[in-house]
Amino acid sequence: MTERPRMRGVAAGEAMLEMAPVGNGLYRGGFAGDTFNTAWHMAQLLGSRVGVGLVTGTGRDTLSDHFVTEAVASGEKRSVDLIRHHSARAPRAIVPGREE
């Protein structure tokens, strides 16, 4: 049985889909936002010494499923229990430099 870390770091807030221009009118999407980036960097820097969680809400759509998969793949393996799914929600998409 794997021993759980004694300490846990948690970032709480909204994660977003960032649409970055790649040329010729095309965009590439990736998950970002201050909260997601903070949790991601905590997981990368602290490794298994500290459990990292992300408290956020997502929808019940394909894009939200991809977000949860990305969160788990990026090292926040203990965070999935802190992500709530809501049928009327979806990740917000932003284009850097065009936020309102």
Matching residue, tokens 């298994």: 48
In a domain, 61, yes or no: yes
Q: What tens digit of pLDDT does each residue of 48-97 get?
A: 788 888 888 888 988 888 888 887 776 555 555 678 888 888 888 888 77
**Domain, as residue range, for 86:** 7-94
| Degrees, nearest 5: CA angle 65-1-48 | 60
**72: domain CATH number?**
3.40.1190.30
Specify if 99 maps to a domain: no
Per the domain annotation, does 100 fall within a domain?
Answer: no
Domain count, the chain: 1
Structure tokens at 32: 């970002």
Percent of the residues in the chain that have a pLDDT greater than 70, as a whole number: 84
Q: Is residue 22 part of a domain?
A: yes
User: How far from 33 is each of 2, 4, 40, 41, CA to CA, in Å?
Assistant: 31, 27, 10, 12
Whether residue 62 is contained in a domain is answered as: yes
- The reply to whether 65 falls in a domain is yes
- Asked if residue 72 is part of any domain, the answer here is yes
pTM, whole model, 2 decimals?
0.69
63 within some domain: yes
Cα end-to-end span (Å), the chain: 48
Give the pLDDT band of residue 45 (cuts 50, 70, 90): confident
